[in-house]
Amino acid sequence: MNQKKKIRVAIVGVGPVGMIMAVKLKEAGCEVILCVRNKIKLNLIKSEGITLEGVMESTTFFDEVYGSIEELIEAKVQMDYLVFSLKSYQIEKAAQQALKLSDGELTVVSAQNGIDVEQLLIPVFGSDRILRMVINYAGNLSAPNVVKVTFFTPPNYLGSIDDNRSEKAEEFAEILNSVELHTKAIDSFELLKRTWEKTILNSSLSALCGVGRLTMAEAMADPDTVELIEQIINEAVIVAEAEKIKFPDDFIRRCMRYLKKGGNHFPSLAGDVINNRQTEIDYFNGKIVEYGKKHYVRTSLNLAFTNMVKAMTNKNIASRIPGAAGSFARGIIKKGIVKDKKSSVIYQGGDCFLGVDLGSAYIKFTVIDEKQNVVFRYTLQTLNRDRLAHRQVMKAIHTDFDIKYSCATGYGRKHFIESDIIKTEINCAAAGVSRDISGEKTIIDIGGEDIKVIHCDENNQVTNFYMNDKCAAGTGSFLSEIAERAEVDVSEMSRLAANSVYDKELNSFCTVFAKTEIMQWIFDGISIEDISRGIYLSIAGKVAKMKLLPDVPTVMIGGVIANHPYLGSLLHEKFNREITIVDEPQHTVSLGAAIIAQKHWMKKQYKKSNQEKIEVK
Ligand code: ADP
């Protein structure tokens, strides 16, 4: 039988990014070769494999583990891809050593964040063989061969830096996609934009957290540091614009929203500052300063943080601060923010409550603490093959938080037997919105398969609701299917539509007819921007026909508004009234479920204590 040749991938640099990728590539059926310089780590990986903890969970063994690039060359190891997942300051030297591996067929992947890091590989491999990856996942080492996956905000991005090897970028992305490490293959222009976007996000917090000894959550909780963070981003956006990299108008607001999700841990660069290790600052804030100088743009804050980080690491100052250099994390643990629990840590904010919203398109998880602050959010696609992922998320939640009570809601709530109670999405939506917007209101929730309009009275009680679940018109799945037919990338749709003034909307609301109509638009030569606006117009028209109470505040929630901000502006125009879009609108229903879980638990506690009092009497 003619068996397909397995793809061989060598990974140089086996930190959290490299380890997660190694495990996933092996899972996808590749032959994975590791190059690990640290002897302790090398021996542990050889004997115990690599373990992933947290959201992804597995132990994987590797047959081909080498101690250096020289050993790889000596053993004449064959490979299709050579991945560099080193720190940026280690790349130049490693690339020189890998010169002999460089035959014409080999594709080189630069898998580290930062601006221009791929440039370090060009002198050795030439630009036509290099792919660059923008990494949107991260992990912390709990042992040299054990990574706790701390976050993944899909997708990662991957592209050929001069578009010469786009087919290889597609092949590699496909491999990663087959094992849920969602990665989007993009062209070199998009790649540049995504690289800057990610670097700006990294630069906004990392140096500040390092210098200020703050976790991400702490930095984002203090208005003084938040002001600095906003200014750092603002400077970077001006520099990016001078480089002709354009971000949407609400980019800074979106960055701040994204950064708010940062947990109670240190960004990797901050960890390096604290532990007195060399940092990658030259490729983060340092690059913003460098490009700023090129365009005569002042970048005072980025300059201040770059130079302070450099001065601190040069002077070994971290080692002079009590509690620094390695023991810093333990210091935090002692402060009671987190508590040591073997390889894991548990949130010390007290009792927690879990809400799970099992929607038709996505499963949303929200954990709140006693004060109803959100301490964890996660989203999974509602796919059968994601069952394992679902179990892992639940396990991670129960390991990291002391969950007292849980509530399931959504389309699939009855199948979720692990929860203590189940409630309808209507009640959960009302509870979730009412946490921040108390009083009479109308809530519009556009999800994957339905649209709901919910009226609440001044006591936040649901008085009436309307649900359109008979046809897909105007829902998330309608939008996704039509966009796919029009070959519009859904993540780009809002930006595209904002560049159009076209006023034609789709006549058909049946998905099948709407697709035919879209085909006609394409034949008529209507631009992608106009098609995008047209699709939004038809959904806005559908929502506008719904009965809304006059003079009552309107609030929008759900996955569609979370991912299509342009729809919010259109609805605002159509209704001619202010429409509030809550923070994290896709998670409002799961937040409400968590709040209801907390209320039930408190009632139970109250009953129990009354019972005890009666018994004592
Ligand atoms: P449900 O509760 O029915 O699962 P959600 O409120 O989660 O629905 O919204 C799902 C819809 O949101 C999808 O059908 C899609 O239109 C949109 N959506 C969610 N996530 C994304 C994403 N990452 N990119 C683009 N659209 C998304």
Q: Which residue do the tokens 């810093």 mark? A: 328
564 CB contacts (<8 Å, ≥6 apart)?
479, 490, 493, 494, 536
The pair of structure tokens assigned to 259 is 């950064």
Q: Ligand 1, from 356, 411, 586: best to mutate by most atoms within 8 Å of Cβ?
A: 586
Rounded Cα–Cα distance for residues 533 and 504 (Å)? 8
Take atom 15 of ligand 1 and give the residue whose Cα is closest: 476
Take atom 20 of ligand 1 and give the residue whose Cα is closest: 559
Distance 559 CA to ligand 1 centre (A): 4
Half-sphere exposure of 429 (CA within 13 A, CB side): 29
Enumerate the H helices of 486-564 as residue ranges. 493-497, 511-523, 528-544, 559-563
Rounded Cα–Cα distance for residues 562 and 419 (Å)? 26
Rounded Cα–Cα distance for residues 70 and 80 (Å)? 18
Take atom 19 of ligand 1 and give the residue whose Cα is closest: 559
Distance 360 CA to ligand 1 centre (A): 9
The pair of structure tokens assigned to 151 is 């976050």
Distance 586 CA to ligand 1 centre (A): 8
Backbone φ and ψ for 544, nearest 5 degrees, come out as -65, -25
Number of Cβ within a 10 Å radius of residue 230: 16
Rounded Cα–Cα distance for residues 194 and 187 (Å)? 11
Q: Are the beta carbons of 530 and 449 closer than 8 angstroms? A: no
What is the DSSP secondary-structure string of 94-145?
Answer: HHHHGGGG--TT-EEEE---STTGGGGGHHHH-GGGEEEEE--EEEEEEETT
pLDDT of residue 139: 86
Distance 566 CA to ligand 1 centre (A): 15
Domains of the chain: 1-186 (3.40.50.720), 187-319 (1.10.1040.10), 437-581 (3.30.420.40)
Q: Which residues line ligand 1 (CB under 6 A)?
A: 359-362, 410, 447-449, 476-477, 479-480, 490-491, 558-560, 563, 586
Q: In this structure, what DSSP letter does residue 318 have?
A: G
Report the atom number in ligand 1 closest to the C-alpha of 557.
6
372 CB contacts (<8 Å, ≥6 apart)?
435, 595, 598
Rounded Cα–Cα distance for residues 304 and 342 (Å)? 38
578 CB contacts (<8 Å, ≥6 apart)?
553, 554, 572
Is the link from the previous residue into 155 a cis peptide, with omega within 30 of 0? yes
Half-sphere exposure of 373 (CA within 13 A, CB side): 12
pLDDT of residue 574: 76
Distance 445 CA to ligand 1 centre (A): 11
pLDDT of residue 355: 97
pLDDT of residue 337: 29
Number of Cβ within a 10 Å radius of residue 202: 20
Q: Ligand 1, from 454, 560, 590: best to mutate by most atoms within 8 Å of Cβ?
A: 560
> Is 573 strand, coil or helix?
helix
pLDDT in tens, 115-138: 999 999 999 999 999 999 999 998
Rounded Cα–Cα distance for residues 411 and 185 (Å)? 32
Take atom 8 of ligand 1 and give the residue whose Cα is closest: 447
Intervals of the chain under pLDDT 70: 1-3, 102, 314-349, 384-388, 469-472, 509, 613-617
Element (DSSP H or E) covering residue 341: strand 338-341
Distance 569 CA to ligand 1 centre (A): 18
Distance 83 CA to ligand 1 centre (A): 33
